[in-house]
Amino acid sequence: MQSLNPATGELIQNYEEMTPRAVESIVRETHDAFLAWRRTDFATRREHMTRVAGLLRTNAGEYADLMTREMGKTTKEALLEIEKCAWVCEYYAEHAATFLADEEVAAGEARSFITYQPIGVVLAIMPWNFPFWQVIRFAAPTVMAGNAALLKHAANVSGCALAIESLFREAGFPRDLFRTLLIEPTGVGAVIRDERVRAVTLTGSTRAGSAVALQAGAALKKSVLELGGSDPYVVLKDADIAHAVEACVTSRTINAGQSCIAAKRFIIVSAVYDEFLAAFTKGMRSVTMGDPLDPATDIGPLASTAMREGLHAQVSRSVEQGAKLVLGGAIPAGPGAFYPPTILAEVAPAMPAYEEELFGPVASVIRARDEADAIRIANDSPFGLGGAVFTRDVERGLRIARDEIETGTCVVNGFVKSDPRLPFGGVKESGYGRELSPLGIREFVNVKVVSVGK
């Protein structure tokens, strides 16, 4: 298991995969930690989680540097990620007791109430693209609910995984309440089947989600899946084009385009297609690619050369099938997994740029006849994570966002971003279940009814 610097190709560190015996020991120790932790009160949990937030801010530079070296995120984006992690820790530290408070129900008995009880060890299978945020947004509600956590992170960010484990210990949590498993995907099934593991959550590809859902289902374990996305951004003829372009460029290039909720398909009604494309091209051309440690850099490398090769193959096949290459589309010379901001126009069905998720700074621009056609194209996808609609008629936009676009989140005149206060997740092949908000902390609890008879 290797961690390579994607900006230089240099080896950071080799990590030895844990043996099945070592994994079994960690699962046992984590379960034992849960048995004690479940009895703690919310005040104790809050104290520890607040310390996590403080340590994240104290060590922000160190953690940001680690992310930049392991997966190529720019330093400024990495620092923002750490701050967001601190925010979600504080959010659940403050609100978990309220979210999980007993609820009285008038049900004909002398007394009935719903209580939310911890279920045990929860396994998280997490991706490399937001190596701290993806983990912390799972871990904060999980341990605040009284559960324990096991992390199987992506191999290329093993350093981040171990740093997060140390973070929870330093904050005062029991030593084994949050543990990292350094294992390959082939070892995940045995962990899911272990009777001490009660649930599993995964953020990743649709293929990985399908495999984990199959294993979790066979073991009768609850699962939450946040999978791929090919978010549609619909621009109507009455849109503020300058504002739409700014939001679209930002969303398409965040994290070098390596985000499930990045804007990916830009569906533009014909009346403003040429105007949008010209302004969008200018905006994407202004994005600076370079050393992720340089404050002037907007996008660094992709996470690996293999991922860059896969993305470039999707671009090349789309051009061969008739897409127009407006910008970028060429692998730059020199070291690192860099790929330039790229625009494909006149994208049509059957092309990879229309059908598949493009995980990098590549924009698919699609022409629509009118509003109805744009909505049809937006929903003509197996994915349903996020989306946006741009129009000066806000009520019109709200109607489309609420009733027409098939996604877990849809924004009017803005771009999709996660927020601890709002539920996050998708529909169709983008997964099921919700993270964040009160709904997120209730995913992995026993919703239990207690009654007293008359």
Catalytic residues, by residue number, are 226, 260
Compute φ and ψ for 47, nearest 5 degrees: -60, -45
Chain Cα centroid distance, residue 101? 28
SS3 content of the chain, % helix, strand, coil (to 5): 45, 20, 35
Of the candidates 233, 228, 252, 245, the one whose C-alpha atom is nearest the C-alpha of residue 339 is 252
Q: Which helix (H) or strand (E) holds 104?
A: strand 103-104
Q: Which helix (H) or strand (E) holds 279?
A: helix 270-285
In this structure, are residues 212 and 225 in contact, taking their beta carbons and an 8 Å threshold?
A: yes
Distance CA 360, CA 256 (A): 6
Amino acid found at 2: Q
Question: What does the alpha-carbon distance between residue 45 and residue 33 come to, in Å, rounded to a whole number?
Answer: 14
Q: Apex CA 130: angle with CA 192 and CA 341, to 5°? A: 130
280/248 Cα distance (integer angstroms): 8
